[in-house]
Amino acid sequence: MNIAVVLYEGFDELDAIGPFEVFRTAEAKGADFHTRLVALDGAGTVTASHGLRVEAEGPVPEPGNLDLLVIPGGGWNDRSSVGAWAEYERGAVPDAVAAHHDAGATVASVCTGGMLLAKAGVFDGRPAVTHASALDDLRETAAEVREERVVDDGDVLSAGGVTSGIDLALHLVEREAGAEVAESVATTMEYTRQHAAYEPGAIVGAE
Give pLDDT tens digits for 34-47.
Answer: 999 999 999 999 99
Average pLDDT over residues 192-201: 86
Alpha carbon distance 129, 138 (integer Å): 8
More confident residue, 195 or 106: 106
Q: pTM for the complete prediction? A: 0.96
Measured in whole angstroms, the distance separating CA 186 from the mean position of its chain's CA atoms is 18
- Is there a contact between 173 and 184 (Cβ–Cβ < 8 Å)? no
Instruction: Give the DSSP H or E segment for 44.
Output: strand 44-47
CA distance 49 to 71: 14
Q: Is 110 left (phi over 0), alpha (psi -120 to 50) or beta?
A: beta
3-state helix, strand, coil in the chain (%, to 5): 35, 20, 45
> What is the average per-residue pLDDT within 108-116?
98
The residue type at 159: A
Compute the CA torsion angle 42, 46, 48, 50 (nearest 10 deg).
170
Q: Is 91 helix (H, G, I), strand (E, B) or coil?
A: coil
Statement: residue 205 has pLDDT above 90: no
SS3 label, residue 37: strand
pLDDT of residue 172: 98
pLDDT over 70 at 203, yes or no: no
Please determine, for residue 195, whether its predicted confidence score (pLDDT) is greater than 80. no
Collapsing DSSP states into helix, strand and coil, what is residue 125?
coil
Residue 16 CA to residue 7 CA, distance in Å, equals 7
Residue 158 has pLDDT above 50, yes or no: yes
2-188 fold: Rossmann fold (3.40.50)
> Closest Cα to residue 131, out of 109, 155, 157?
109
Residue 57 has pLDDT above 70, yes or no: yes
Closest CA to 75 of 162, 187, 3: 162
Strand partners, 151: 158, 198
User: In 147-166, which positions are buried (b, 16+ CB within 10 angstroms) versus exposed (e)?
Assistant: ebbbbbbeebbbbbbbbbbb
DSSP letter assigned to residue 8: -
Q: Residue 139: how many CB atoms within 10 A of its CB?
A: 11
